[in-house]
Structure 1
Amino acid sequence: MSLEVKDPSTTEKTKRFERQDSLFGDAEKVSNITGHGSKENWTQVLHLAFQSIGVIYGDVGTSPLYVYSSTFPNGIKNNDDLLGVLSLILYTLILIPMIKYVFIVLYADDNGDGGTFALYSLISRYSKIRLIPNQQVEDSMVSNYSMESPSSPLKRAQWLKEKLESSKAAKIGLFTITILGTSMVMGDGTLTPAISVLSAVSGIREKVPSLTETQVVWVSVPILFMLFSVQRFGTDKVGNSFAPIISVWFVLIAGIGVYNIMVYEIGILRAFNPMYILEYFRRNGKEAWVSLGGAILCVTGTEGMYADLGHFNITAIQISFTGVLFPSVALCYMGQAAYLRQFPENVADTFFRSIPAPLFWPTFIIAIFSAIIASQAMLSGAFAILSKALSLGCFPRVRVIHTSKHHEGQVYIPEVNFLMGLASVIITITFRTTTEIGNAYGICVITVFSITTHLTTIVMLLVWKKNIIFILLFYVVFSSIEWIYLSSILSKFIQGGYLPFCFALVLMALMVTWHYVHVMKYWYELDHIVPINKVTALLEKHNVGRIPGMGLLYSELVQGIPPVFLRLVQKIPSVHSVFLFMSIKHLPIPHVAPAERFLFRQVGPREHRMFRCVARYGYGDTLEDSGEFARFLTDRLKVFIEDESVFPKDKPENEDTNSITGVSGGQTRPRQSARSVVHSEEVIEPRMSNHAGNNSTYSLHTIEEEKQLIDAEMARGVVYLMGSTNVIAGPKSSVIKRVVVNYVYAFLRRNLAEGHRVLSIPNDQLLKVGITYEI
């Protein structure tokens, strides 16, 4: 908002405001909201640390059930190999989950939220890499953006920003690896229950050797069914229930580990010397390289820890990992290695054979529960990541249920939970053993690790602007480790490794299809917007009447009148007394403060009472129900009308669609600081005299009448209007495009939740307007 103050001594020159384009004025009203978890005290932090034990560490904590058997599928040929593998496991735990994730990557949070899409959205706030051109100047003024000036003194950050923004290939590449990472996390969430539950249940064969492999599988299936059934209760309740169980598990495995070290070989502690890793590779060559695919399973669930960051916070995860997880798991692996030094023939079932006899049944029962809990981390992470993908238009509309009033990141997606549960049961019945599932599992894990490394490196360059030596050290060390592991696990592609790739390809195809049509539909509407003068001319026709009530026409456009409006007026030549062009916009941040939720703009002359409104949400925000949304919208609209009274009445608003960042040729005017606007409003009264023939503003009486009219029309009823858009490929489209748009997208649209259900709009207040777009 800019201010022009003329000489107060001249009666003919009055003080007046001038509005900038791009819904600028209201965007200056920001509050000092901070990120997720910023107000947590130490009591809450410790409580979250305890909860995190039960939610995000079950997967890493139960990996001792199957790591040694997966690493030595053909038995142990040399006892010294155990020292090499144990050293490999210990340093993998130290380097990847502890140093990389807990003390580096967790800080690459998006206002408290983690995961692949959080990294993508964080990058998109500092560089315009999103494929939909709906970025606006005022969005970066929302308090949770926490974005510094783009004019960085570090030239490489500015250079990278320009390269990303100017390269379509870079934008598509970043989007592709992001959805690949998301697909792999989903695959991880499907495979984790299968391998964890099968490993735990198989332990009963130590006491009941007559139990067949098929019977073990059918015992596992009802446990999996129970696991996916409890997800609807939410992370908060599940975490409180599971944390005591998994805590007992960690105490047990640590205690058993210490017992085995003391009884069998205390010298196993020599494995902290990394030279044993080099000797292991020198002694075994290619076989050692192939065995890396089993060793990497010791860090399964690490990406879930990062994805679940929004459920907890950094400090809580750091406390629980370093204080509970790492010591317990490390002692367990050392104890198993000490046992195997004496009984190498038992490597196929190391965990249960190394348990002291009196502790077998308690440990077995806790192992079953822990296997169930192990799946919780990846399921919670998968739900969190998909909710972000959904908000950014990268996933078909599904119902997202927020399961906690205190922690916004805790979500549950029923349809996804059902499909993942079904897939997990099918995999368990089909593969039957943990060996082939482990091969598939490792590929999921290491692919997501590599994607996170690359995206975090971009964050370091673009956002953190760290020293280049630190960035190179981070990238070279971790990408090298991950590529070595990935090369090993790919050697088992035929033995089950193909499974996550098939799963990822299907999911990626679904996400790419949805996002592609979503982007093309947006561009179609942008190219066919209705000029405001045409809207004004329509309303002045005698055959277009104004009917009582408030109408809200939903559109993807953040500016401009969508073509569906003309369709509406042609079919029903009437418009509600108060009419708003509504856009629900999701910013690439977790949360938008309620005071910053709505941006308004007058459309055409004031007497028409037509407004443009953009409702902005972060990907962690919950959409209000229709009644609460309408009330909140009305209150903010009245505030806008009062503020709007200081602008010239005789100068109709004319939205400039080119003010949308990303539209060809678009220019945006430089914005003023919020402080200057506040100061200006202190100097000039909202009410201005009409002397000297100036009719530039409303009187206070007129303002009150307008506000009362808004209330009255709202009381008469709110009608929600939505375009029932049928998208088809244009006549000159390729065969692939026709298949994708006319069949795949149409199938998804028919069988998934409709827009009004996602927005919680009652059917008796909904009016759909049919329209077809050829893209």
Structure 2
Amino acid sequence: MAEPQHTSSNGAAHSDADSEYASEKMPPKRLQRFDSLHMEAGKIPGGSTHAAKVGWATTLHLAFQSIGVVYGDMGTSPLYVFSSTFTNGINNTDDLLGVMSLIIYTVILLPLIKYCFIVLRANDNGDGGTFALYSLISRYARISLIPNQQAEDAMVSRYKLESPTNRIKRAHWIKNKMENSPKFKVMLFLVTVLATSMVIGDGVLTPCISVLSAVGGIKQKATTLTQGQIAGITIAILIVLFLVQRFGTDKVGYTFAPIILTWFILIAGIGVYNLSKHDTSVLKAFNPKYIVDYFKRNGKQGWISLGGVILCITGTEAMFADLGHFNVRAVQIGFSVVLFPSVLLAYIGQAAYLRIHPENVANTFYKSIPGPLYWPTFVVAVAAAIIASQAMISGAFAIIAQSQVLGCFPRVRVTHTSTKYEGQVYIPEINYALMILCVAVTAIFQTTEKIGNAYGIAVVFVMFITTLLVTLVMVMIWKTSLLWIALFPVIFGGAELIYLSSAFYKFTQGGYLPLVFAAILMFIMATWHYVHVHRYNYELQNKVSSNYVAELASRRNLARLPGIGFLYSELVQGIPPILPHLVEKVPSIHTVLVIISIKYLPISKIETSERFLFRYVEPTDYRVFRCVVRYGYNDKVEDPREFEGLLIEHLKQFIHEESFYSQGGDHLTEESGDAIEPYAGVQEARLSKSFSDRIATFPPNGSIDEIQTIQREMEDGVVHMLGETNVVAEPNADFFKKIIVDYAYNFMRKNFRQPEKITCIPHNRLLRVGMTYEI
């Protein structure tokens, strides 16, 4: 069957625009008949692009917000970088020039060049983070472990991006290799999950180290406070921070942005003061030769100290992970105009101070503050440290939301906190889990030294995985020249591996912490996805014969209940096994039955007009339909009433349009070879009219009665039927599989949110259909 190339509306009925059809001189040819799912897939030509122009006012508004949400982590690094680098004191003041030079070029190389100007371009329709990269790659190669890909997916307007060059052959070769290698698919998935777990782990470590470092400065004035008391104050602040998350990124960003902007002004001003007062010669650190001299002089100790230097770019991944809350240009402006100069001046000022007072390296930041500015700076520092936590908390929310809809995390409630900006979400379960872990880590370690060792590993690990995934994007999607493809992982990946090797040196001194977090999270995500894939395969292998509904139609003892039934299944190919199970237990079906598959595509958002795909289940007069409802991983799922209205409206449009195809409908399109060519200019006019207006203008034969029946049954109500599938390992499964499926997965399924709580289906219209799957 030829692939359709036409663009037909779901509701191909008639409005004023349809009179244009009559005036056209069209040949009286009968339409070719295509599969209805294919027919529905290409409705909106072009669609809206994710790269739609955003005005400068909005961009500056978002840039201001990003200062409060994204850059708090990097902005508070001056609190602890020099103390974490010179853990044994400063033996030679010339070492300060080497470390300062390392800081300068690390900040320029990784956050500025790599992230600001390269990685941010690898966004998925405006969304960033590890899963966004994974979904972007999976659109160009069939690397998903769930076999639910359809030809219609690629017809969604935002699904594909234009390639900037013509280097196609190499990209196709790599694409084919990836698609034909099950091991590569699993490895890529595990790498993605590892990076995701590390970012979520950052959501624990960032608040601990940032707030603890800031609060610790009070010991300079309140010398009687013990470290345990300082840890107690830190815990109290952290609890308050997590409690305000429910107000949303929009409100939190507006609240925090002025504070963090004040922080940047303060640290820049203090840096200039220290530079002019103590030693302007530290500006020589812009010469990279001091890096070479530093390693010659210190050897292995210089390499070990890199574990402290890398903390100067903590929070860099938040620029990418939080991108969906803002936009690329806003994040670039925030970094280049505010953070970059402020932080560099702060480090340069501290280095100038330490050249004169090297003995104060353990508390460099607070010791270098001019006396009258101590208390104002302390208050702003604590506030800024709280804000530093916001970046990774927001990133953790965004990544969990993405991973959940892609079948890689148990069900949690995702709340969209802003009607103005996409991607701003809050997840109560994750918020309180992070709070408990932060309190535990702070209470156990109480000092920043061991937390800093753990923090370095988490930061660089995620950055290195991002380098690998962006390299794949450069090869397959951007189709960049081989020279740039080679330079990107060699330069950036090489630098990150050097830093990572140093961070791992302190593995036993707290460095194991992020790996423990990552291992737990990876186990949860991998277990959930493993069973999710096998459950889908079970439904696929046990799907019902296409003759099943025809057999039901011939049964005289099968009652038809009034109203419309929505039967949910993840299966997008055919009739799921839950239907005969339902009929067997309750020997009746609704007058109108819609078998619904909710499917998430590897794309951030899908237009509502492109969301619903329908197909008749034969015989057509039995009123059983298949419907695939497609969402992007950042789409907000409608409430039940809105969802019912949208689906029924599109179902009516489908019936109307299907009637034209079944009767020839040659006034709509004309045949041209194997493709049906659309008549341009009528699409928007059609969609701009309500469905009732269109069918009143020019109703097709045979569709009105059915549409009226649908409307009558809608008035009788909609019943939602959810499959309550109990998944168990098959009897001959090995011991490990039984542990994963029967215990680990089922424990998560019972203790996380149930499907009806995610979709908020009212209990009085919910029917659960129980069934056991053996996998």
Give, as a single letter, the amino acid of the residue that structure 1 aligns with 2:437. Answer: A
Deviation at 1:209, TM superposition (A): 1.2
User: Take 1:31 and 1:425, find their aligned partners in 2: how far apart are those partners?
Assistant: 52
1:608-623 correspondence runs (5 A):
608-623=622-637
Cα shift at 1:305: 1.1
Structure 1's 385 and 31: CA in aligned 2 closer, same or farther, altered over 3 A?
farther
* Paired position in structure 2 for 1:326: 340
Please give the per-residue CA displacement for 1:612-652, whole angstroms capped at 9, x wherever unaligned.
101100011000000000001111111100100023379xx
Worse-superposed segment, 464-473 or 256-265: 464-473
Partner residue of 1:356 out of 334, 349, 370 = 370
User: Counterpart of 2:692?
Assistant: none
Name the SS of the counterpart of 1:394 in structure 2.
Answer: coil
| Cα gap change, 1:428 to 1:671, in 2 (>3 Å) | farther
CA distance in 1, matches of 2:242, 2:186: 34
Match of 1:554 in 2: 568
Q: 2:356: which partner in 1?
A: 342
Tell whether the 8 Å contact from 2:660 to 2:700 is kept in structure 1 after alignment. Answer: no
SS of residue matched to 1:723: strand
AA matched with 1:581: I
Q: Percent identity?
A: 57
Q: Which residue of 2 aligns with 1:489?
A: 503
The correspondence of residues 625-704 of structure 1 with structure 2, limited to 5 A, is 625-648=639-662, 676-678=677-679, 700=700, 702-704=702-704
1:205 corresponds to: 219
Q: Which residue of 2 aligns with 1:689?
A: none
User: Aligned-pair distance for 1:447?
Assistant: 0.2
* SS of corresponding position for 1:549: strand
Match of 1:417 among 431, 446, 465: 431
Letter in 2 for 1:611: F
Q: Determine the structure 2 residue equivalent to 1:711.
A: 711
Aligned partner of 2:134 in structure 1 is 120
Whether the 8 Å CA contact 2:67–2:261 is kept in 1: the answer is: yes
Q: Residues 37 and 375 of structure 1: is their aligned pair in 2 closer, same or farther, counting only changes over 3 Å? A: farther
Q: 2: distance between equivalents of 1:14 and 1:69? A: 83
Equivalence for 2:722: 722
Task: Output one character per residue of 1:191-230: Cα deviation in whole Å (capped at 9) or x when no partner.
Answer: 0000000000000000011111011001111100011111
Measured after TM superposition, the shift of residue 152 of structure 1 is 6.1
Alignment of 1:194-233 (within 5 A): 194-233=208-247
| Cα distance change on mapping 1:82 and 1:153 into 2, 3 Å | closer
Indicate yes or no: 2:410 matched with 1:396: yes
Counterpart of 1:440 (choices 450, 454, 457) is: 454
Q: Give the conservation status (yes or no) of the 8 Å contact 1:151–1:158.
A: no
Rounded to whole Å, the distance in 2 between the matches of 1:120 and 1:708 is 45
Distance 1:35 1:354, change over 3 A: farther
Look up the equivalent residue of 1:730 and give its one-letter code.
Answer: E
Q: 1:366 to 1:671 in 2, by over 3 A?
A: farther
1:294-339: CA deviation from partner (whole Å, max 9, x where unpaired) = 0000000000111000001111111111100000000000000000
Shift in CA distance, 502/103, structure 1 to aligned 2, threshold 3 Å: same
Task: Give the equivalent residue in structure 2 for 1:685.
Answer: none
State the secondary structure of the residue aligned to 1:221: helix
Counterpart position of 2:690: none
Q: Map of 1:507-546 to 2, 5 A cutoff?
A: 507-546=521-560
What are the ranges of 5 or more consecutive residues in structure 2 without an aligned counterpart? 7-26, 665-671, 684-697
Match of 1:257 in 2: 271
Aligned residue in 2 for 1:738: 738
Matches within 5 A, 1:57-136: 57-136=71-150
3-state SS in 1 of match to 2:158: helix
SS where residue 603 of structure 2 aligns? coil
1:182 aligns with 2:183: no
SS at match of 2:392: helix
Instruction: String of CA shifts for 1:165-202, please: whole Å, max 9, x gaps.
Output: 00001100110000000000011110000000000000
Alignment gaps of 5+ in structure 1: 5-12, 651-669, 683-697
RMSD between aligned residues: 2.1
CA distance in 2 between counterparts of 1:45 and 1:77 reads 47
Partner letter of residue 69 of structure 1?
S
The match for 2:315 is 301
- Contact 1:590 1:618 (8 Å CA) reproduced: yes
The residue that corresponds to 1:662 in the other structure is none
2:163–2:478 Cα contact (<8 Å) kept: no
Higher relative contact order (CA 8 A, sep 6+): 2
SS of the aligned residue for 1:556 comes to: coil
Determine helix, strand or coil for the equivalent of 1:700.
coil
SS of the aligned residue for 1:577 comes to strand
Q: Is 1:457 equivalent to 2:458 in the alignment?
A: no
Say yes or no: does 1:760 pair with 2:743.
no
How far has the Cα of 1:511 moved from its partner?
0.3
Match of 1:694 in 2: none
CA–CA distance in structure 2, aligned partners of residues 2 and 89 of structure 1: 56
Measured at CA, do residues 35 and 200 of structure 1 come closer, stay the same or move farther in structure 2, by a change above 3 Å? farther
Q: TM-score, normalised by structure 2?
A: 0.92
CA contact (8 A) 2:81 2:309 kept: yes
Alignment partner, residue 286 of structure 2: 272
What are the equivalent positions in structure 2 for 1:23-38 lying under 5 Å apart?
A: 23-36=37-50, 38=52
Deviations 1:53-101 (A, max 9, x none): 0000000000000000000111001000000000001110000000000
Cα distance in 1 for residues equivalent to 2:165 and 2:298: 54
- Hey, which bits of structure 1, 4+ residues long, moved more than 2 A? 1-4, 13-22, 31-39, 146-154, 646-650, 670-673, 677-682, 698-702
Matched, 1:283 2:283: no
Equivalence for 1:10:
none
Q: In structure 2, what is the Cα distance between the partners aligned to 1:578 and 1:649?
A: 23
CA distances 1:141-184 after superposition (whole Å, capped 9, x unpaired): 11111345899653210111001100001100110000000000
Letter in 2 for 1:553: L
**Cα shift readout 1:413-438 (whole Å, capped 9, x = no counterpart):** 10001001100110000001000000
State the alpha-carbon separation in 1 of the partners of residues 575 and 765 from structure 2: 22
The one-letter code of the counterpart of 1:573 is P
TM-score normalised to the size of structure 1? Answer: 0.92
Code of the aligned partner of 1:593? E
Q: Which moved more, 1:102-111 or 1:131-140?
A: 131-140
Q: Which residue of 2 aligns with 1:695?
A: none
Q: Give the letter for the 2:703 counterpart.
A: I
Q: Tell me the CA shift for residue 546 of structure 1.
A: 1.1
Task: Measure, in 2, the Cα distance between the counterparts of 1:31 and 1:567.
Answer: 40
Q: How many aligned residue pairs are there?
A: 733
Give the CA deviation at 1:35: 4.6
Tell me how far apart the structure 2 counterparts of residues 721 and 539 of structure 1 sit (CA, whole Å).
Answer: 20
Of stretches 704-713 and 481-490 in structure 1, the one that deviates more from structure 2 is 704-713
Tell me, what secondary structure is at the counterpart of 2:773? Answer: strand
Q: Deviations over 1:120-149 (max 9, x none)?
A: 000000000000011111111111113458
Could you tell me how far apart the structure 1 residues matched to 2:483 and 2:410 are?
41
What is the rounded CA distance, in whole Å, between the counterparts of 1:588 and 1:38 in structure 2? 20
1:679 CA drift (Å) = 7.1
Tell me how far 1:538 sits from its aligned partner: 1.8
What SS does the corresponding residue of 1:24 show, helix, strand or coil? helix
Aligned counterpart, 2:618:
604
Aligned to 2:187: 173
Decide whether aligned partners of structure 1 residues 237 and 576 sit closer, same or farther in structure 2, where only a CA change above 3 A counts. Answer: same
Displacement of 1:36 in angstroms is 4.5
Q: Aligned match of 2:607 in 590, 593, 597?
A: 593
Task: Judge conservation of contact 1:106–1:306 (CA < 8 Å) in 2.
Answer: yes
Q: Give the CA deviation at 1:38.
A: 2.5
CA contact (8 A) 2:409 2:529 kept: yes
Deviations 1:483-513 (A, max 9, x none): 0001000010000001111110010000000
Write the distance in 1 (CA, Å) between the matches of 2:673 and 2:304.
58
Alignment check: 8 A CA contact 1:36 1:113 kept:
no
Return closer, same or farther for 1:728/1:377 CA change in 2, 3 Å cut-off. Answer: same
